[in-house]
Structures are given as structure tokens and as C-alpha cells.
Amino acid sequence: MPGLAARVEGMIAALGENRGLISDTIVDALRAVPRHLFVPPVGVALTDTGPELIDQANDPEAWWTAVYGTAAIVTQLDGGATDIGDAEGRYTSSNSAPETVVDLLELLNPQPQHRTLEVGTGTGWTAALLSHLVGEAARVTSIEIDPAIAGQAAKNLATAGVRPRLIVGDGAAGWAAGAPYDRVHVTCGVHTVPYAWIEQSRPGAVIVAPYSPGFDTDQSLRLVVRPDGTAIGRFPGYTSYMMMRSQGATPCDPDDGSGKRFAIRVDPRTIAYAPAGAGLVMSALTGLRTRVSDEAGFVLYLVDPGDAGQWAAAVHRSDTEHMVYELGDRRLWEEVADAYFRWVSWGEPGLDRFGMTVTPEGQRLWLDTPERAIGPCRSAVS
Ligand SMILES: C[S@@+](CC[C@H](N)C(=O)[O-])C[C@H]1O[C@@H](n2cnc3c(N)ncnc32)[C@H](O)[C@@H]1O
């Protein structure tokens, strides 16, 4: 069985192969903060071949291999309502995939002494890495919304001998008492950037968050705070995290039979699996989110996060015709299809051409320059 040092070096080498060069400071942090101190004895590793239950007592080698592998390890199901040993349920907390952790830390680029806020403590591993990177754990504040998860993270961090400030609460409100921050590191997905993070940061601060517009592809968002209290940035890559709890699944009213039914010629999969640039545009123009069900035929759901009474289901039927069932006053399918074809008419711009500005009023997507704003200013849906 390989020793700990060999396992850590194996993980670092695999990360290097998968994503290319890693900064020396981040490699040092990965060596200094062993991941196994932040993984529970039983978890669900999200491997390339699917979810795999890992149980240290039953199969220690499989557990160690997963811990020093590259997969995310789920540590909580259904907010704790389902036992992790069941291995099936909604993923509500995890020790993130090392590659994703490194990607976001590279974007964040924390420097010694930076006052740093982390949103989503999870197992505490990232908080420990951040503490190492800024050189002083007292400069790191990490917020976790789930008290049980936060309690375990505190124990993990104490075992590792790292003591950042840990807060139990809703990270959407930031943590004003620790402000002003130089870095804000978000480890749960958002579709709306809470202004509190900008308000609590100093000019020049960097905010990194997984951005989930509610269409097929999730991106990383890197914002820089400006002296006028706004923030601006771009989407430097792809990343996917479980959603921030206040911005999670959108409810839909039950079908009361009052909806309209009509045929469409656009294959709903064209919208469902549209490239990242199209997803950003459809989200910004319509404010809608999507969900896909592939269990009994393909269905694309369009949902209005602000109104459970507005939703549509676009059903893939045959090679030539598909059906939409739409509930509520809005013409959801038409809105989304129009937005998609607007993106097509602009030459199908890719992710690298988009950016975002966040102000106290909300967020605005733009193409190429902030002057080419797309859609209205959108604020958090409560
Ligand atoms: C992917 S995990 C974070 C992984 C973590 N950074 C680590 O190193 O293990 C996402 C975490 O965000 C937490 N979370 C979700 N919504 C939150 C919110 N509104 N405020 C604070 N934490 C939240 C979840 O409970 C979960 O523990």
C-alpha cells in the first residue's frame, strides 16, 4: 500500500496531467493540507463510471484511492434526511473534486495576508487550503448554511490544526463583520450574484463563483470589484457545483389542465443542450431555468423561478415534430426559442466573449464590452 506522501504526489501528478500546470503555491497547499482529514469514513465518490459508495471500514484501499483520486466525494444526501450509506439522493454537500478546487483557487489567486471569505464550508478542505495560501487562518472566514455540516467541518479543521473563523449562516448575505475582503471564494453554484459579496469587498478584490445560469452548462465567474462599488468580470472556464440552497430547485405548480398544447419544429434538445454562450443569452433574456427529464422520453422543462404557475414542458416526439405543453400567461417556449435564435444570429458567440457587471440593482450580462448589454438587469429572486 502506498504511503501518504506517495498518495498526495499521485493526486498532484494526476491533476497536472488533467488540467496542466498548477501554481507552486497551490501545490504546496495540497501537500500541507491532506485531503483525507476532510473526507468522512463513508461517502459517495463521483467517479467517471458513476457514483461509488466508499466505506473506509469495509474497503480501506478503495477509500484511500478515492480520497487521493480526482473525484468529488459526496458527504450528504437530501440535506441529511437520507443516510449517506444509501448512496442515492440529492447531493447537498461534498468534498469537491480536487481539479475543480484547484481551478477555482487559480482564478482566485489568494496572496499572503488576504482577508478571504469562503461561502460553503462543506468539509472544510478548501477553508484549510485558503488558510495555508493566505498564511494566517484568522484571515479566512468560511460560512456554511447547514449546522451539521458546519459542525463536522469544525472538527475536521481542528484535527488538521487549522482554525479559520467558521460561521453558520446563509452565505448569500456574506459576513459583514469580517469585511472588507480581498477575496471571496464561492463553492456552491449561483445564478444570481448577491450584492453583499461586492459590498463587503474592497476595490480590487476578486470574487470567484460557480455560475449556473439554469441551462445546460455551468461556468466559473471571476469578478473584480471597482471603486464605484460595482464588479465586472468574465467566465474563464467551466465548473459545476451543487447550488446554493437559497437559489436551488425552482418549484412548479401542479398541472391543473388549463395549459395550452402546440406543436413545434425545433427539437427541444437543441435548446436543452445548447452551447454555453447560448445558455447565458437565453438565461439573461428570459430569466427562465431549465430541467431535463430523460426517463420516459425526452422532456425539457422551462420554469419561471419567480412564479411557480408559469412552466412549460417541451416533449421530443419524432424526427419531424415535437410538442409543448405550457401553463401560465407567458409564452415560455417562444421566449426561449427567440433568445436561442438571437444568439445564432449574432454568429453563435462562445463563452469567452461574454462578461457580467454586478451593481446594487442586480447583474447584467454583456457581449464583448459592457456597453453591449443583453437583457434587463436581473436581481436575486427571493
Ligand atoms: C460543494 S460543497 C462545498 C465544498 C467545500 N468548499 C469543501 O472544501 O469541502 C457546497 C456547500 O455549500 C453549502 N451551502 C449551500 N448553500 C449555502 C448558503 N446559502 N450559504 C452557505 N453555505 C451554503 C452546502 O451546504 C455545502 O456544504
Give 295-331 pLDDT, tens digit per residue: 888 999 999 999 999 999 999 988 778 999 999 999 9
Mean pLDDT of 183-204: 98
Q: Are residues 130 and 174 in the same domain?
A: yes
By most ligand atoms within 8 Å of CB, the mutation choice from 118, 191, 242 for ligand 1 is: 242
| Of 318 and 247, the one with more pLDDT | 247
Which residue, 178, 205, 238, sits at the end of a domain? 238
Does 281 have pLDDT greater than 90?
yes
DSSP bridge pairs for 44? 53, 74
**CATH for 50:** 3.40.50.150
What mean pLDDT is predicted for residues 84-112? 97
Q: Domain check: are 216 and 68 in the same one?
A: yes
Residue 119 CB–ligand 1 contact under 6 Å:
yes
- With the most atoms of ligand 1 within 8 angstroms of its CB, the residue from 141, 188, 192 to mutate is 188
pLDDT at 381: 56
Strand partners of residue 291: 301
Which of 132, 143, 239, 245 most suits a substitution to test ligand 1, by most atoms within 8 Å of the C-beta?
Answer: 245
Average pLDDT, the chain: 96
* 117 alpha carbon, distance to own chain's centre: 16
Instruction: Clarify whether residues 27 and 169 are in a common domain.
Output: yes
Please tell me if the CB atom of residue 95 comes closer than 6 angstroms to any atom of ligand 1. Answer: yes
Ligand 1, from 175, 185, 187: best to mutate by most atoms within 8 Å of Cβ? 187
Q: Domain for residue 52, yes or no?
A: yes
In a domain, 353, yes or no: no
Query: Same domain, yes or no, for 96 and 205?
Result: yes
- Please indicate, yes or no, if residue 372 is contained in any of the structural domains: no
What is the value of pTM for the model shown?
Answer: 0.96
Query: Is 382 a residue whose pLDDT tops 70?
Result: no
Mean pLDDT, rounded, for 27-32 = 98
What is the CATH number for 319? 3.30.160
Q: Tell me: do 47 and 98 sit in the same domain.
A: yes
Distance 249 CA to ligand 1 centre (A): 15
Per annotation, catalytic residue among 93, 94, 96, 142 = 96
Quick check: CB of 246 below 6 Å from ligand 1? yes
Model confidence pLDDT, tens digit, residues 128-186: 999 999 999 999 999 999 999 999 999 999 999 999 999 999 999 999 999 999 999 99
Active site residue 96: yes
Residue 200: pLDDT band (50, 70, 90) is: very high
Same domain, 202 and 181: yes
Q: Using a 6 Å cutoff on CB, does residue 235 contact ligand 1?
A: no
Domain assignment present for residue 243? The answer is no
CA of residue 187 to ligand 1 center, whole Å: 6
pLDDT score of 238 more than 60: yes
Claim to verify: residue 92 and residue 16 sit in the same structural domain: yes
When pLDDT is averaged across residues 246-275 and rounded to a whole number, the result is 93
Query: What per-residue confidence (pLDDT) applies to 20?
Result: 87
Residue 244 lies in a domain: no
- Distance (angstroms) between ligand 1 centre and the Cα of 195 equals 18
Residue 237, C-beta contacts closer than 8 angstroms, at least 6 positions apart:
103, 107, 219, 220
In a domain, 378, yes or no: no
Give the pLDDT score at 283: 97
In terms of domains, do 59 and 156 share one? yes
Domain end residue (candidates: 174, 206, 238): 238
Region 32-48: mean pLDDT is 97
Say if residue 27's pLDDT is above 90: yes
**Going by CA atoms, what residue is nearest to atom 12 of ligand 1?**
120
- Tell me the CA–centroid distance for residue 100 and ligand 1, in Å: 14
Q: Does residue 210's CB lie within 6 angstroms of at least one atom of ligand 1?
A: no
- Angle, CA 236 vertex, CA 231 and CA 241 arms, to 5°: 90
Residue 96 CB–ligand 1 contact under 6 Å? yes
Q: Which domain holds residue 170?
A: 4-238
Question: Distance, CA 134 to ligand 1 centroid (Å)?
Answer: 21
| Cβ of 128 less than 6 Å from ligand 1 | no
For residue 122, the CA-to-ligand 1 centroid distance in Å is 5
What's the confidence (pLDDT) of residue 1? Answer: 74
Atom number in ligand 1 closest to CA 242: 1
Residue type, 373: A
The reply to whether 154 and 277 lie within a common domain is no
The verdict on 203 and 335 lying in the same domain is no
Q: Is 6 exposed, middle or buried (0-12, 13-18, 19+ CB in 10 A)?
A: exposed
> Over pLDDT 70: what percentage of the chain?
99
Statement to judge: residues 225 and 274 lie in one domain: no
Same domain for 210 and 122?
yes
Residue owning the nearest CA to atom 27 of ligand 1: 122
Range 90-114 average pLDDT: 97
pLDDT (0 to 100) of residue 104:
97
For residue 124, report the distance from its CA to the centre of ligand 1, in Å. Answer: 10
**SS3 per-residue string spanning the chain:** CCCHHHHHHHHHHHHHHHHCCCCHHHHHHHHHCCHHHHCCCEEEEEECCEEEEEECCCCHHHHHHHHCCCCCEEEEEHHHCECHHHCCCCEEEEECCHHHHHHHHHHHCCCCCCCEEEECCCCCHHHHHHHHHHCCHHHEEEEECCHHHHHHHHHHHHHHCCCCEEEECCHHHCCHHHCCEEEEEECCEECCCCHHHHHCEEEEEEEEEEECCCCCCCEEEEEEECCCCCEEEEEEEECCCCECHHHCCCCCCCCCCCCEEEEECCCHHHHHCCCHHHHHHHHHHHCCEEEEECCCCCEEEEECCCCCCCEEEEECCCCCCEEEEEECCCCHHHHHHHHHHHHHHCCCCCHHHEEEEEECCEEEEEECCCCCEEEEEECCCC
The answer to whether residue 371 sits within a structural domain is no
Does 360 fall in a domain? Answer: no
- The pLDDT of 360-370, averaged and rounded, is 98
Total domains, the chain: 2
**pLDDT number for residue 319:** 76
